[in-house]
Amino acid sequence: MKFRSTLLFLLFLFANVPLSFGQATPGDLVKEWGRAKAYTKAYLDAMPDSGYSFKPTPEMRSFAEQMLHLTDGDYLLIPLATNVKSPFGEGELEKSTTDKSKANITKIVLAGYDFVIASVGKMTQSDLNARIIVFDRFDLTREQVLSKAFEHQTHHRGQTTVYLRLRGVKPPQETLF
């Protein structure tokens, strides 16, 4: 429930922020999610297996849990924008995944990106422009919801930069383009 409350707060906070300088196409969004997948994979690859259980402080998520949370966010938000059914319930991956090895987390996270890319790839320009009510109170276009999902994964991947540095690992070079 805490996950949903935080997500609702963030959506409310940024609901009316302009999300792009021009209208994105489904192809543009697929390309951006592909870039995000590759960048996240670089983070997953950079952290040694022994660092997947690392927590900077006891109350924080482990590196593995951050990556699962990132993926849970995709499985929550992408179906809202695309009408493609999520294979997981809200927050299910972070709560239920017991094998938090590098190999398993990498597999789960990359599968999450594949779900996003496949779902967005089925959309049309009309779909992106369509307005929907999200969480019973936010009137957004489907493109805006996709932007919120992209922002969420970027935020949590960015948090793991500190995890890598605290483990003595140089984070991957940013890839904006």
Compute mean pLDDT per 10 residues along the chain, 177 residues long, and list them.
54 45 85 98 98 97 98 97 96 94 98 98 96 95 97 97 98 89
pLDDT at 103: 98
pLDDT at 5: 55
pLDDT at 16: 42
pLDDT at 15: 46
With beta carbons less than 8 A apart as the criterion, state whether 34 and 153 touch: no
pLDDT at 23: 83
Could you tell me if residue 83 is inside a domain?
Answer: yes
Specify the CATH number for the domain of residue 103. Answer: 1.20.120.450
State how many domains the chain has: 1
pLDDT at 1: 55
With beta carbons less than 8 A apart as the criterion, state whether 122 and 114 touch: no
CB atoms within 10 A of CB 128: 22
pTM for the predicted model, two decimal places? 0.87
Q: Which domain holds residue 162?
A: 26-166
Among 110, 39, 101, CA closest to 64: 101
